[in-house]
Amino acid sequence: MALASFLLLVILLPHLEALSHGPSSNEPDQTMQAMMTQACINIDNQSSCLSNMQAELEKTEPANPSSIITAALRTTLNKARLAIETITKFNSLSFSYREQIATEDCKELLDFSVSELAWSLAEMKNIRAGFKSVHYEGNLKAWLSAALSNQDTCLEGFEGTDRHVERFIRGSLKEVTQLIGNVLALYTQLHSLPFKPPRNSTTKTENSSKFPKWMTEGDQELLKSRPKGMHVDAIVALDGSGHYRTITEAIAAAPSYSNRRYIIYVKKGIYRENIDMKKKKTNIMIIGDGMGQTIVTGNRHFMQGWTTFRTATVAVSGKGFIARDMTFRNTAGPENHQAVALRVDSDQSAFYRCSMEGYQDTLYAHSLRQFYRECNIYGTIDFIFGNGAAVLQNCKIFTRVPLPLQKVTITAQGRKSPHQSTGFSIQDSYIFATQPTYLGRPWKQYSRTVFINTYMGGLVQPRGWLEWYGDFALTTLWYGEYRNYGPGAVLSGRVKWPGYHIIRDAATANFFTVGRFIDGRSWLPSTGIKFKMSYGDDSARRKRITLISFSSIFLVAMVVAVTVGVSHLKSNDPKNGSKSVHEDLATSKKAIQSICATTDYKQECVSSLSSVAGNTTDSRELIMAVFKAAMNQINEGAKKSTLLQDLEKDPMAKKALEDCKELMDSAVDELQHSSSRFGGLDVSKLDNIVTDLRVWLSAVITYQETCLDGFQNTTGDAGKKMREALTTAMHLSSNGLAIVSSISGLLTDLQIPGFGGSRRRLLRDVSDNEFSGPWSNPGVRRLLQVTPTEIEPNIIVAKDGSGKFKTINEAVLEIPKKSNQTFVIYVKEGVYEEYVHINTSMTHVMMIGDGAQKTRITGNKSYIDGTPTFKTSTFAVTGDYFTAKNIGFENSAGALKHQAVALKVQADFSTFYNCSMDGYQDTLYAHTKRQFYRDCTISGTIDFVFGDAAAFFQNCTFVVRKPMDNQQCIVTAQGRKESRQASGLVLQGCNIVSDPAFYPVRFERRAYLGRPWKAFSRTIIMETHIDDLIQPEGWLPWVGDFALDTCFYAEFQNTGPGANTTGRVNWVGVKKNITHEQVLEFTAGRFFLIDEWIREAQVPYTGGMITN
């Protein structure tokens, strides 16, 4: 087919050459018809397409190749508008949350395409009218390339859904996408040669430190001036000293479709907002007070249900955007996957002295021409990605620690067609790799990235580049390196792919410079940002002009072959280019099998992905699909619990079903967090991202297990039905954790410095000075250091009426939702008999009392009285970043009432300082996620510290109380269900002692350190004083030999009469000979990996061993 097309073009060549001057005979008319046919190639309703083309062509006589492109653009533009109308009508139906967002994305992205097609049409009209700009070629290629990519982004947003809506929208987009691809191919072949960089020529290097020639004097002054000395249109200041307090307000006030530069000065501060500058907001310039001073931060991520496209903290679509001295940040963390800090769809946009900070997918250079100068970019996986034409000059690229088993990749360029003028060019920059790092991997078939004159640190891997999957795109990509330096720039070990090039001459490198790659001469001078235009002398430029002139004659003959090729590119798969559908599906199947290889439930993994993955080979998308599949199944479980609850007669089973609904909602939230976290990465914190993912996915498994635990001792078959309903969901959740854990394991196995080996077990160590993230709040430090009389709380609670409220629950109602600012509640001395819940929307709450024995919160709910254990807590915390100081939490139900929780915690990054938790059985329910307890007292009888959190106790006292007759006392009952869960209990520098009432009977009512509640229970006790109440065996079985081989119990350097380990049980799971190096992995700094939240609070804290 390709040969036949080529021969046909050779035959048509002389006629097509003549057509550039207009038709002169019947033969050219026939050739014009052939070109029209090619413009409609592979369109389902080809006769309608040709009819529309003919009608449009009649409006643009005389007929010639240019008029065919104009007619094709008009036809395509009409179809794109029709597609928007169709999708808008369909959007009125009821969808899932993700489908609603994805559908809204599609409408906006199609609107982008309509604009880009309209710009292209206007440019063609100017060309036909004789007003051809010297930059028209760059404009048309950029706009048509962007229009082709938008539909891919639209469909990618439906990953993890049941695909019904996607299939409908794919059908609505199919013809538009094919038409855009065809017109791009036609235009490219009429106006330029395929990319083959010139060889053996040299050009003069223009290494200008001045502002570019194409920049207006006014904009040059703007970039050189200090903000306080320039004229600005709007000032934003958090303290109210400007016109607006938020950037969003300032942008809303900016004129639409302005041709004048509109300047917004944003004073230093942390602006917690998600900003979406729509395409109508053109020529906006935002200037801050400097990187790290003016910060725009958000934490949207894929796991919350956002599409990657919508996770951006700042999104810019209006033409001509400029940013200077700003930081754009997404704090979702590595475990939440895709989480974009900055997304750019702004043509001819520029960023100067800005910082983009995230994890996976930090900088989404989505489309059109972009320039970055002296910027910092932080990330982990694919943290510079998209399909824009982007040049980065004099930038610093920082890799962050990834999740376990993840590989750090800087770029993932998404060029899907060889005709697109897109790619990434990174020049004169610096790669500071803190982890083994790859320069990039091919997200799409024709991925294009080059590094020029860039420093590469020693952890850039010798291979340089990483496969996406198997041999996908290795022959069609274009990756190049030119005159880079540093220990990671050695080329001898680089990949041997056909698409990889060692660039040996300046002429080839020049293709990727500002002047040629993004047509920078036409627009960068007006931004005022200094730049390097090229490498070498101007001979390459002259040669390029000659080639373009030649191409306008010769390459008309390539139209047929190219349009035939493009028709294959318009298949439903965004990654596999001209590969057949069967090949795509086969490759996708391999990708699925690879993703599922590390899971325990491979059958469910493969089947769930096969049903939603289509022909994708994108590892990220497949992993996202795992999370989404789990979410779908959990949602089904939630629906089942609601149905069963309506039918249930047993009161306890009914309450258990109610708990299940709440727990399933929590599980879905965690999966959304994980999915989003996976989507936006910060290379220097990839380790953190993986850690967060493991914590949150561990919580997902625990929530489902907690749901099923609630049916113990109930009548009827509700528990059995719920277990059946959740089986697949639990397996899929387990698969998600397995995949993330495999990434962690790979990094550990590679013995990467700073990750794995002696550095970590669950997480990693961090320096004392590394404070960045949502926990970074100076107010927290001050509040924990002062006495209650010195603080200025937001609300005071006092029983005697001397505060704003008399009850804590009244104060709780005043807590702002999803705040990143610390909200302080001071609870004066008194006994508060109430049940308090700090829910998930109440973040960054601090509660301070007058002392653990003075400010007491008490209740008496119990299991015996008909309340499930999960709901017996006097005080429950699910809002992240909760801090308590000098508070007593109590459940006074007594030993006779069995399970009765005083405090239940499932808040991530929670801290308890100088608090007490008093009860009997199940006093402290450390349910899920990361928790730190310092200088606290916990009292109880049976399993009085239990749950499946990653909970660390430092300098705490565990007081064993007198149980009922014939009962034994157990301090811990850790509930890790799976070996990959990032959970466990660690006691360091603590005391385990008897309550005065228990002391006389301590040898009769035996006491133990712990027992395995779940199969992979994990508890470590180190540097702790253990009194004589603990039996020589140390640990107690749960039932029979359950978990004795799979639990992990360890003791190290403990003291006191109960610390002698010679008489300990001989289970496989009890590690009697744990070494100093091994136990270091369970010190707080390494156990948590992310311990900034503790350090920032400045509670007394030791990150390593206490004694040495």
Sheet containing 888-891: order of strands: 830-833, 855-859, 888-891, 916-918, 937-940, 957-960, 991-994, 1025-1026
Give me the amino acid identity at 412. A
d(CA 883, CA 1096): 12
Q: Read off the DSSP letter of residue 485.
A: B
The tokens describing 974, both together, are: 């850790």
Give me the amino acid identity at 536. G
- The CA distances from residue 380 to 340, 377, 1047, in Å, are 12, 10, 33
d(CA 985, CA 37): 70
CA 868 to chain CA centroid, nearest Å: 36
The 3-state DSSP class for residue 126 equals helix
Q: Where are the alpha helices (DSSP H) in 678-752?
A: 686-709, 718-749
Determine which helix (DSSP H) or strand (DSSP E) holds 315, and give its type and residue range: strand 314-316
Helices 559-569 and 2-19 sit at what angle, rounded to 10 degrees? Answer: 130
Active-site residue among 219, 692, 709, 943?
943
Give me the amino acid identity at 641. S
Active-site residue among 345, 347, 382, 880?
382
CA 1042 to chain CA centroid, nearest Å: 38
The radius of gyration of the chain's CA atoms, rounded to the nearest angstrom, is 32
Question: CB of 990 within 8 A of CB of 957?
Answer: yes
State yes or no: is 382 an active-site residue: yes
Sheet containing 275-277: order of strands: 275-277, 314-316, 342-344, 363-364, 381-386, 408-413, 437-440
The tokens describing 70, both together, are: 């104009």
As beta bridge partners, residue 314 has: 275, 342
Our CA dihedral for 514, 515, 519, 523, rounded to 10 degrees, sits at 80
Chain position carrying tokens 């254990």? 869
d(CA 202, CA 188): 26
The tokens describing 617, both together, are: 């080979």
Is the Cα torsion angle 691, 692, 693, 695 positive or negative in sign? positive
> Nearest to residue 952, comparing CAs of 979, 991, 983, 922?
983
d(CA 316, CA 347): 10
The 3-state DSSP class for residue 253 equals helix
State yes or no: is 682 an active-site residue: no
The tokens describing 304, both together, are: 């919350």
The 3-state DSSP class for residue 129 equals coil
Tell me which residues are annotated as active site. 382, 943
